[in-house]
Amino acid sequence: MQTHQYDVVIVGAGGAGMRAALESSTRARTAVISKLYPTRSHTGAAQGGMCAALANVEDDNWEWHTFDTVKGGDYLVDQDAAEVMAKEAIDAVLDLEKMGLPFNRTPDGLIDQRRFGGHTRNHGEAAVRRSCYAADRTGHMILQTLYQQCVKQDVEFFNEFYVLDVLLTDDLSTGDVPDGQPVRVSGVVAYDLASGEIHVFRAKSVVFATGGAGKIYKTTSNAHTLTGDGMALALRRGIPLEDMEFFQFHPTGLAGLGILLSEAARGEGAILRNSEGERFMERYAPTIKDLAPRDIVARSMANEVREGRGAGPNKDYVLLDLTHLEPAHIDAKLPDITEFARTYLGIEPYTEPVPVYPTAHYAMGGIPTTIDAEVLRNNTDVIGGLFAAGEVACVSVHGSNRLGTNSLLDINVFGKRAGISAAAYAATADWVDLPQEPAAAVVGEIERMRDAAAGERVSDLRRALQESMDANAQVFRTAESLTAALTDIRTLQKRYRSVGVQDKGKQFNTDLLEALELGFLLDLAEVVVVGALAREESRGGHFREDFPDRDDAAFMKHTMAYRRPSAAEPGETEIRLDHKPVTVTRYQPMERKY
């Protein structure tokens, strides 16, 4: 076991982690721990753009952007946070440009902007050109640019290190720590994949930027490595998770594969059609049609398929039609996604429509934070030195449905804030002691898995989980389907205890890590489903067929899910739900029409 000491430790080297590192490494001694090489992070898969009211091509201002974000999130957005994000978006984009990001340009040499789902002029009048982009590789360019700046600043990386525990001064998991009592973070425990060694990082500040958990679903645009590690670690240590029942399904995943085709396609003029060739979004969102927010489009697509208007031999997808666009225009603005269609489905988008179907894409929920990225342990108390930013966090700027491009914005705005806050905290805080034997829990779990005789196979359990989640907790949900999912998850959690790995080696044991990741997925799926069962309304990304309407009287509040010892079964845990009020500043909830 090795021990390191840093003022700030950042967990995760995607957009949010590296953006935080750029701020904190100039102010405090910083280490970035990442389970992947930084440039492998899934920020790189984002395509369409990053919205900011630059008004480079048409009239726009950040207040409209705030409104769109709030309305897009079906009013579950904390409006103070949305305002911060929309206001700081402009500088976030300009910062990236100054770092060298190769944005597409207007004829005047300014950053070009294009339309995107849910982003409108003057509170919903018409679609506005707000998304700053670099072809359909905006996320790739952001990730590369941030990594380039990290190289420039000589940021210290620990690559292919898996953080497996977060160390706090008090044990929150029992629920016995009274509100108001100060609790601080003292470090993290990480596993070095290359050597199999355990490293303990002592730190004054820890920033979680570990990304999402799309792998709880089978059809997903998310990477194999997006297993919600940060969220699950927080949950296990007694930190609540907020609004986890809201999961975004991106409308246009390549049918059957889930590979993302950017909303930018529709921003550039592509049209969704059903088997009859009808532009069906005209019926669901008469004003902005195909550029409605993702939850609405995904639900409309699923509804078309359900009502028998799906295309293809099994009538189980709809079509994304780009054939009326100029090939030269497609090549200039959407080169990658057209290549995906060619490579993976053998479809030529110039001449044929592309089969698409919703794919699990983004967790709106996560670790609750303040607008300064401080992690909350209940509705009011922050944990000293613990910060979170990006998809792992829930500020909440996305509410119940994130608008396209707002995730790239989120990682830049709140990644920056997290880096600054973490360094500021480390500058004044004193060191706290690590617990006795800080790595004992992690070492114990690893030993148990490695030593287990041939037990349950990781892949069997994971597949069962993903298939159940796809079948029961996807775009359409009912009490019945969610109960079925919960039963499956509980069974799988029990089976997980006897999981064994085949690879007994120390070096580069990815078999072992997949087993640990499965544990995270199971814990998070439980939170998603428990939250979804309790929310007996339909809002944003969460649609209950048995409760098809939004119910502001009963549910205009955030869900806070705590993992606590079970009262009924000693030795077991259960998810307890609590609520947090939504911050409303300017915009009173209205009916959401597009």
**Restricting to residues 287-306, which ones interact with other proteins according to CB under 8 A?**
305
Using CB under 8 A as the binding rule, whether residue 316 contacts other proteins is answered as: yes
Considering beta carbons, is residue 342 or 564 the nearer one to other proteins?
342
Among 30, 69, 131, 144, binds other proteins (CB under 8 A): 144
Asked if 502 interacts with other proteins (CB under 8 A), we say yes
- Binding segment for other proteins (CB under 8 A), chosen from 113-121, 386-394, 500-508, 544-552, is 500-508
For other proteins, the binding residue among 25, 30, 34, 41 (CB under 8 A) is 41
> Which range in 31-39, 174-182, 418-426, 431-439 contacts other proteins by CB under 8 A?
31-39
Q: Which residues contact 312 (CB under 8 A, 6 or more apart)?
A: 255, 275, 355
In whole angstroms, give the CA distance from residue 412 to residue 418: 10
- Closer residue to other proteins (CB): 20 or 81: 20
Cβ proximity to other proteins, 225 vs 406, nearer residue: 225
For the CB of residue 401, give the shortest distance to other proteins in the complex, in Å. 21
In DSSP notation, 95-129 reads: HHHHHT----B-TTSSBPEEEEEEEEETTTTEEEE
Positions 250 through 279 that interact with other proteins (CB under 8 A):
255-257, 259-260
Q: Which of 5, 29, 55, 148 binds other proteins (CB under 8 A)?
A: 148
Q: Which residue is it, tokens 């892949």?
A: 459
Closer to other proteins by CB, 457 or 557: give it. Answer: 457
Count Cβ neighbours within 10 Å for each residue of 29-68 and write b for 16 or more, e otherwise. bbbbbbbbebbbbbbbbbbbbbbbbbbbbeebebebbbbb
151 lines the binding site for other proteins (CB under 8 A): yes
Interacting residue with other proteins among 122, 459, 498, 566 (CB under 8 A): 459
Which of 197, 381, 503, 552 touches other proteins by CB under 8 A?
A: 503
Q: Which residues contact 232 (CB under 8 A, 6 or more apart)?
A: 213, 519, 520, 521, 523, 524
Q: How far is the CB of 260 from other proteins (least distance, A)?
A: 8
Residue nearer to other proteins on the CB measure, 178 or 313: 313
Phi, psi of 407 (to 5 degrees): -75, -40
Q: Which is nearer to other proteins, 312 or 327 (CB)?
A: 312
| Residue among 331 and 536 whose Cβ is closer to other proteins | 331
Contact present, 503 and 516 (Cβ < 8 Å): no
> Which stretches within 242-394 are classed as H helix?
264-267, 281-284, 294-306, 327-333, 335-340
The sign of the CA dihedral 450, 455, 458, 459 is positive
| Total residues belonging to the chain | 594
**Hey, which residues between 325 and 344 contact other proteins (CB under 8 A)?**
336, 340, 343-344
Interface with other proteins by CB under 8 A: which range of 5-13, 20-28, 100-108, 383-391? 100-108
Query: Which residue type sits at 344?
Result: Y
Residue with smaller CB distance to other proteins, 277 or 286 = 277
Should residue 447 be labelled a site residue for other proteins when binding is judged by CB under 8 A?
Answer: no
Task: Give the C-alpha separation, 157 to 9, whole Å.
Answer: 10
562 interacts with other proteins by CB under 8 A? no
**Which of 266, 294, 535, 544 is an active site residue?**
294
Binding mask 462-491 for other proteins (x = CB under 8 A): -x---x---x--------------------
Quick one: which of 57, 99, 424, 443 contacts other proteins (CB under 8 A)? Answer: 99
Among 109, 178, 180, 308, binds other proteins (CB under 8 A): 109
For residue 93, the Cα-to-chain-centroid distance in whole angstroms is 20
Which residues in 177-206 contact other proteins (CB under 8 A)?
194
- Which helix (H) or strand (E) covers residue 463, if one does? helix 458-472
What is the rounded distance in angstroms from the CA atom of residue 186 to the CA atom of residue 206? 8
Question: If DSSP codes are grouped into helix, strand and coil, which group holds residue 407?
Answer: helix
To other proteins, the closest distance from the beta carbon of 568 in angstroms equals 33
List 2, 487, 507, 585, residue binding other proteins (CB under 8 A): 507
| Min CB(534)–other proteins separation in Å | 28
Question: Is 450 one of the catalytic residues?
Answer: no
Choose which of 506, 546, 566, 581 interacts with other proteins (CB under 8 A). 506
Among left, alpha and beta (phi > 0; psi -120 to 50; other), residue 146 is alpha
3-state secondary structure of 423: helix
Least distance to other proteins from the beta carbon of 25, Å? 14
Q: In the complex, what is the shortest distance from the CB of residue 267 to other proteins, in angstroms, rounded to a whole number?
A: 18
> Segment contacting other proteins (CB under 8 A): 456-464, 533-541, 559-567, 568-576?
456-464
Q: Is 508 in the site for other proteins (CB under 8 A)?
A: yes
Contact call for residues 364 and 396 (beta carbons, < 8 A): yes
Which of 180, 313, 570, 571 binds other proteins (CB under 8 A)? It is 313
Among 34, 79, 138, 149, binds other proteins (CB under 8 A): 149
> E strand or H helix at 93, and its extent?
helix 79-99
Total residues binding other proteins (CB under 8 A): 73
Residue 430, SS3 per DSSP: coil
The amino acid sitting at 81 is: A
Distance CA 229, CA 236 (A): 11
**For the chain, how many helices (H) and strands (E)?**
16, 22
- In the chain, what is the straight-line distance between the N-terminal and C-terminal CA atoms, in Å? 57
- Cα 89 from Cα 417, distance rounded (Å): 12
CB 41 within 8 A of CB 370: no
Question: What Å distances lie between residue 158 and 37, 248, 264, 361, 388, CA to CA?
Answer: 9, 31, 35, 27, 19
Q: Which residue in this structure is represented by tokens 């609790």?
A: 183
Binding of residue 111 to other proteins (CB under 8 A):
yes
State which of residues 10, 13, 18, 45 lies at the interface with other proteins (CB under 8 A): 45
574 binds other proteins (CB under 8 A): no
* Active centre residues (catalytic): 294
